[in-house]
């Protein structure tokens, strides 16, 4: 009876009745062949049939559609080449970082403003980002951020927290004073009595030991509650608690009316 071979990898099956040496030699050869298959020295037979390549009893095939599952995108034949490096054109290499055309065009498309598009091109370079040559934000490492409008440096935020603005700062709570924007307008009464209840003090902030002078919000709240508001000040405190803040502009009305009350008293004394 002659030797036979296995179906898939053609391993030798010695004939029955052969001598022990013959069996040993052929088995050793088979073991070397199997070892080469396992460590990659010899390629495992690539063209397995559906019946030979199964997972859980179900045949596995490798159609283009199934290969697309690897990255979750629809891939053309050219794009699939990237999987094994067969070819790599410039266009295909662009898929590595998602850029399929000019970087500027990609950024304009991806950074479009909500409800519209950016005016002008998005400029990157020289530590700045902006809509055109005259309108941009410039970053100076570790020191400041400058805001340019129409070529002019209109605002600067410094690393120490100071904000410089080349113009007025318009804020609803402090500077908008048009009478047509207000109602229920009444004069401040007993202004001098209110001033006498306040106490000017000097103090140091817990944050940085900075010295200053002023009023305590808790004292002002007893006299003029509308001048005191509770807000979070995380940059100063490092927490999300609410602290009392004071609108010093609100005190101007009391000071003005107190001066008028004092003037009236002086004039009364002078007439005597």
Q: Is the pLDDT score of 132 beyond 60? A: yes
The pLDDT of residue 140 is 87
Among 61-70, 120-129, 243-252, top mean pLDDT goes to 243-252
**pLDDT tens for each residue of 151-160:** 999 999 999 8
- 177 against 58, higher pLDDT: 177
Q: Is the dihedral of CA 235, 240, 241, 246 positive or negative?
A: positive
Q: In this predicted model, what pLDDT tens digit does every residue of 35-55 receive, in sequence order?
A: 887 877 776 655 556 555 566
CATH architecture observed for domain 179-271: Orthogonal Bundle (1.10)
CB atoms within 10 A of CB 101: 10
* pTM for the full predicted model: 0.51
| In the chain, domain spans | 62-96, 103-165, 179-271
Which run of H or of E encompasses 103?
Answer: helix 103-110
- In angstroms, the CA 255 to CA 133 distance is 48
């Amino acid at each position: 009876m002659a030797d036979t071979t296995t179906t898939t990898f053609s391993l030798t099956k010695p004939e029955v009745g052969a001598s022990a040496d013959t069996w040993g030699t052929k088995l050793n050869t088979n073991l070397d062949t199997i070892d080469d298959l396992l460590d990659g020295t010899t390629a495992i037979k690539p063209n397995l049939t559906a019946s030979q390549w199964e997972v859980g009893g179900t045949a596995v095939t490798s159609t283009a559609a199934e290969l697309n599952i690897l990255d979750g995108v629809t891939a053309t034949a050219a794009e699939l080449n990237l999987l094994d490096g067969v070819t790599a054109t410039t266009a295909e290499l662009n898929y590595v970082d998602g850029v399929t055309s000019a970087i500027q065009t990609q950024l304009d498309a991806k950074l479009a403003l909500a409800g519209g598009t950016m005016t002008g091109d998005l400029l990157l370079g020289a530590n700045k980002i902006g809509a055109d040559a005259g309108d941009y934000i410039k970053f100076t490492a570790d020191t400041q951020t400058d805001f340019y409008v129409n070529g002019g440096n209109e605002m600067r935020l410094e690393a120490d927290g100071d904000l410089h603005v080349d113009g007025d700062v318009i804020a609803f709570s402090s500077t908008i004073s048009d009478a047509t924007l207000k109602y229920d307008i009444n004069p401040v009464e007993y202004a001098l009595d209110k001033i006498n209840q306040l106490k000017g003090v000097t103090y140091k902030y817990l944050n940085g030991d900075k010295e200053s002078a002023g009023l305590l919000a808790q004292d002002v709240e007893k006299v003029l509650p509308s001048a005191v508001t509770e807000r979070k000040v995380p940059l100063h405190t490092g927490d999300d608690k609410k602290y009392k803040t004071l609108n010093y502009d609100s005190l101007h009305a009391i000071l003005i009316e107190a001066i008028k009350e004092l003037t009236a008293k002086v004039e009364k004394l002078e007439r005597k």
